Structure 1
Amino acid sequence: MIRIGCTTFSEHGRLVDRKSSKLFEYARYFPVVELDTTYHFLPKEKDVRNWLTQVPDNFRFVLKVHQSITTQGDVPEGMTVEESLTRFKEAIAPMVEAGKLFCLLAQFPNQFKCTKQHVAYLDQVRIWFADYPLAIELRDHSWYQPDVYPSMIDFMKQRQFSLVVVDQPKKLSTTIPLDPTVTNPSFTLCRFHGRNDSGWTATGPDAKQVRTLYRYNEKEINELSTAIQSVSANTKETAVIFNNNAGRDAADNAREMISKLQLTYEALNPNQLALF
């Protein structure tokens, strides 16, 4: 099955003609969402249970692991790594038990280069999340160099990681290619960030808004759709997340791909108009 959706559920106001959208509204249009609140803060069980009440049975979540796990932040104050991991797992347990967790996502930064130390660290991450479906997103081109790439792919397969299929700017020497290689036949996560070459390396408080400011055109949607078809032929479950939402383009592009691939999702939340 191919599930197509977006990052967050609140930033897609175009779906409901408002500035923001709620989860139960978002779930009328898409069968999967990626939540990044768990990257910034440890989730609370009550919030997880609330999310579950707003989505249909066939809906799935992609949850980012906390930034301390991906070397981008500190462990929450007053906790050890083990304590924060326990808190995280306890909070998401209702989602796991309900069968609505598509996977966890560990997104590593550009500074996480292909070194022996970082390979060993990925082994530690697998130990921490031994019982969970885990997708790994790499951002630095060093992992995709010809002399490293075959071993990297073998490593991902052996650890049962789903190497994230990434689309990002094409004209920068440091970015990675769109590679539809599947490393886990059970599930694959794809994330499309847009192709804003000039904004991808932006820094400062507005960097996030510039980095994903991009709208895929029809030719690019066709290209990405072809890659998704290749992925889905080699994995049981595929989730596609559009993250190009600085200009509120993600939902439109996601719906365009759903149309291009002729997908129909029968078990979404009912549209409000259908109640009358």
Structure 2
Amino acid sequence: MEPIKKISELTIKDIASICDHTYLNRPEAFRSIAEKGQNPISLWKADFEKFLKETVEFEHKPYAVCVRPECVGFTKNHLINNNSSEIIIASVVGFPQNMYNIYFMIAETNLAVKHGATEIDFVLDYQSLKGGQALDAHTSIEVMAALTQKLGVKSKIILEISELEPEHIKEICQKAEKEGIDFVKTSSGYTGSGANAKDLRLMKENFSRGIKMSGGVNPNNVSEFLEAISGRDDGCIDLDPMKIRIGESSLLRKLKGQKSSENSSY
């Protein structure tokens, strides 16, 4: 059983134990920063390898890493070769905006799982939901729930809360509950805003399993967000990675830097 701890007293080790440390850049992202004569693909590869190197060298390793499907195999080999195979591998599907045919998402899922992913973060078809085509959004949830359950992997649905009205968040959380989805997740991190305490509470009220906060989580708001999804009023939290997860790409580094300059719990 995971420990119940005071949120105000959480350490970096505690936070890391519920983190999905994330790298989702593609080589295309490096075209605008590559200088003349530089290869954007080589820049991306060096950056991704740096991410993996830092991950396995963290004093307190994250619960999981989250990468794109095409990066899962390389990630798995890197973790094994660096005595870090205990780190779970998650992968994104239909990312970031889910403007894909469901068969493409199925193919991405199968690829990621075949290469070693045991958790799938898939994006809600929120455009259909917003456009009045709720049936399409619900059907994709049913397909992804059935597929991940068949494959024996955990599922996380990315709601993209900044694009949804509260009634939509409630509706999708209840649908995810019905279909056996393992986590509801706030955001991809690729839209206007990410996690916020109000919507996290709404998600918690309408979903009984895992909640994943993602998008803009930083040292200044992480405690507030954890309190929002703790389901408690005593300032404590159950540090169970099957109930609470943090999606982040820089939070652990920032907390480490904060600890170096301040005398704090982190």
Query: What are the ranges of 5 or more consecutive residues in structure 1 without an aligned counterpart?
Result: 11-17, 96-100, 195-215, 244-248, 264-276
Provide the secondary structure at the position in 1 that maps to 2:200.
coil
Aligned to 1:113: 129
Deviation at 1:59, TM superposition (A): 2.2
Per the normalisation by structure 1, the TM-score is 0.55
Conserved in 1, the CA contact under 8 Å of 2:158 and 2:188? no
2-side partners of 1:140 and 1:184: how far apart? Answer: 18
Correspondence 1:66-145 to 2 at 5 A:
67=95, 71-73=98-100, 85-92=109-116, 101=118, 103-108=119-124, 111-114=127-130, 115-130=134-149, 131-139=152-160, 143-145=164-166
Conserved in 2, the CA contact under 8 Å of 1:5 and 1:242? yes
Q: Percent of pairs identical after alignment? A: 5
1-side partners of 2:104 and 2:24: how far apart? Answer: 31
Provide the secondary structure at the position in 2 that maps to 1:239.
strand
Conserved in 1, the CA contact under 8 Å of 2:158 and 2:184? yes
Provide the secondary structure at the position in 2 that maps to 1:27.
helix
Conserved in 2, the CA contact under 8 Å of 1:141 and 1:176? no
Provide the secondary structure at the position in 2 that maps to 1:56.
coil
1:27 partnered with 2:51: no
Correspondence 1:197-212 to 2 at 5 A:
none
Deviation string for 1:144-195 (max 9, x for gaps)? 433x5544322111212211145979x98xx99541434353x44321336x
2-side partners of 1:253 and 1:144: how far apart? Answer: 32
Q: 1:240 aligns with which of 238, 243, 246?
A: 246
Aligned to 1:37: 68
**Residues 145 and 60 of structure 1, relative CA distance in 2, 3 Å threshold:** same
Letter in 2 for 1:91: H
**How many aligned positions are there?**
211
Letter in 2 for 1:158: K
